[in-house]
Chain A
Amino acid sequence: MVDMKISLCGVQLDNPVIPASGTFGYGREFAELYDINMLGTFSFKGTTGKRRFGNPTPRIAECREGLINSVGLQNPGVDSVIGEELPALAKVFSKPVMANVSGFSIEEYVSVALKLAAQKQVGWIELNISCPNVHNGGMVFGTDPKQAAEVVGAVRKALDSQKASGGSRPLIVKLSPNVTDLAEIAFACEDAGADGLTLINTLQGMRIDLKTGRPVIANRIGGFSGPAVMPVALRMVYQVYERVRIPIIGCGGVSSAEDVLEMMLAGATAVQVGSANLVNPYACRDIIEALPETMKKYGIETLSDITGGAH
């Protein structure tokens, strides 16, 4: 009997597999297919203060071993998420969920994070300061250590002020790989009070349609993800692990139980699975089911022991 349990910022997970934000909606579509309680948890769709339609279509482009998306943070807004999505989720998911928070100003990040942290179902706040598909928001905060520290510090302070009323949650920050020195930004986030980091959001990329001579994506540039980016994500997890003490969630191209082990050896405490959910809706179930055998194959009894083992 192998042990797949891990602890993420003080919250126990049955296993380290977490569907990544933006590939799992608010859980509904997948709950129709399998019991999503088998997941460690999942990170729901990036949520902003107001409803957003997002970017014009086409928003999707095929790539070798991956895809580009430019959805642009489409979501129903935090009040609808609390009023409609979370009650619907409660019927099919009994574990704490990771609330992915986005915004266009520090005030918006703070207010959305506070509203979501006050929900019983929410186990962690995942601050998305790395969306490559919106202007004046998202990635602007995640590409400069000072701005990253400012927004993380503001949300931290606000969450701390809710501690007495039970409205505080561990704060995880999702970072962008589209920077020169990710470790420096990661360190700034830790210093500003982050409890954990998700590495990495999508890499900026594009495709051009030879028939029209124009970019495939309406917004021209989007975020590249899928198995092709895993070596980049792995390298970043490896490098940041040496600079910070807080746990890292490895994210980028993970598609198999072997990929989970590789991410954890690089330094990840838990692992997010993104694009794989889109081509195989059962990807996370399949990975979780394959993990025990894969662990045995490599002589691993306690999964949490291997975090950072490659260093």
Chain B
Amino acid sequence: MIKAELTVKSNRQIADRTWEMILETPSGMTDDFRPGQFINIRIDGLYLRRPISICDWSDDTVTIVYKTVGRGTEAMSRIEAGAKIDVLLPLGNGYNTEAENVGERPVLIGGGAGVPLMYCLCRRLVSEGVVPAVVLGFRTAGEMFYIERFREMNIEVAVATEDGSYGVKGFVTDVMSDPGYTSFFACGPEGMLRAVDRAAKADIPGWFSFEERMGCGFGACMGCSCETKYGSKRICKDGPVLERGEIIW
């Protein structure tokens, strides 16, 4: 974990209630980033930092995509290019794609604010020679983003919207029907994760990225603990990615 002052390169709205912020990073900073890790941002006027998952990175930038859901993220949307922001990064365990047995046909399932993480994971898997299937869920067509970016990687993307304004009307579980998936990765609201666990075949491995209200984001305060089959874990430090078999729903 590094504490750094990063310059905002751009901060723009990309869909309803959805913003993309690109931060400039010194060279070398992003070398060891993993999909599934997050950054914790200090925002003027707010006491606690706000954890946001990393969506993408390059040698000299890191990108986050966030939804405006409260005071913190609304304040973030008003930050202008050129501003300097205080961040802790990278935080959390992330997905260790190389070490895990993902098989030939993993499926990546992202719901709403869980989509950016799946973009980053998709890029990583593609770079490792794996072609995943992608299943995305949004509330409504106006909140959709990044669909084209997935398709530019020649990835098959199935979309569900709750109101049926795009793709299949319903939830991600309504479009993850392929019986040939060899593993899955999911990020989204807890209800969605639970439904994915039930819908996925029992004998394939899977990984979930969880959300929780955090105090510090780096494992000190025990504010975001959860019980697992292997004892208590801190979502911020031992997670946010947990393996399917350890979760107590």
Give chain A's interface residues, CB within 8 Å of chain B: 22-25, 28-30, 32-33, 45, 53-54, 57-67, 69, 71, 74, 216, 226-227, 275, 277-282
CB of B233, distance to nearest CB on chain A (Å): 11
> With A226-B47, A279-B48, A281-B88 in contact, is A71–B221 under 8 Å at CB?
yes
Chain B residue with Cβ nearest A64? B47
Query: How many Å lie between the Cα of A64 and that of B47 in the bound state?
Result: 7
Residue B34 lies at the interface, judged by CB distance under 8 Å to chain A: no
A sample of 9 cross-chain residue pairs with beta-carbon separation below 8 angstroms, ordered by A number, consists of A54-B225, A59-B223, A60-B223, A60-B224, A71-B225, A278-B216, A279-B216, A281-B216, A282-B3
Query: How many Å lie between the Cα of A216 and that of B213 in the bound state?
Result: 10
Q: Which residues of B, 184-224, contact A by the 8 Å Cβ criterion?
A: 212-216, 218-224
> With A53-B232, A60-B213 in contact, is A278–B48 under 8 Å at CB?
yes
| Residue of B71, B214, B219 touching A60 (CB-CB under 8 A) | B214
Residues of A near B49 (CB, < 8 A) are 279
Residues of A near B212 (CB, < 8 A) are 57-58
Chain A residue with Cβ nearest B232? A53
Verify B42–A279 contact, CB threshold 8 A.
Answer: yes
Query: How many Å lie between the Cα of A96 and that of B243 in the bound state?
Result: 39
Q: Which residues of B, 1-43, contact A by the 8 Å Cβ criterion?
A: 1, 3, 42
Verify B220–A60 contact, CB threshold 8 A.
Answer: no
Query: How many Å lie between the Cα of A50 and that of B46 in the bound state?
Result: 36
| Residue of A25, A57, A216, A279 touching B47 (CB-CB under 8 A) | A279
Query: How many Å lie between the Cα of A24 and that of B215 in the bound state?
Result: 12
> With A57-B212, A57-B226, A60-B213 in contact, is A22–B221 under 8 Å at CB?
yes
CB of A44, distance to nearest CB on chain B (Å): 11
Chain A residue with Cβ nearest B219? A29
> With A57-B213, A57-B226, A74-B232 in contact, is A23–B221 under 8 Å at CB?
yes
Residue B67 lies at the interface, judged by CB distance under 8 Å to chain A: no
CB of B159, distance to nearest CB on chain A (Å): 26
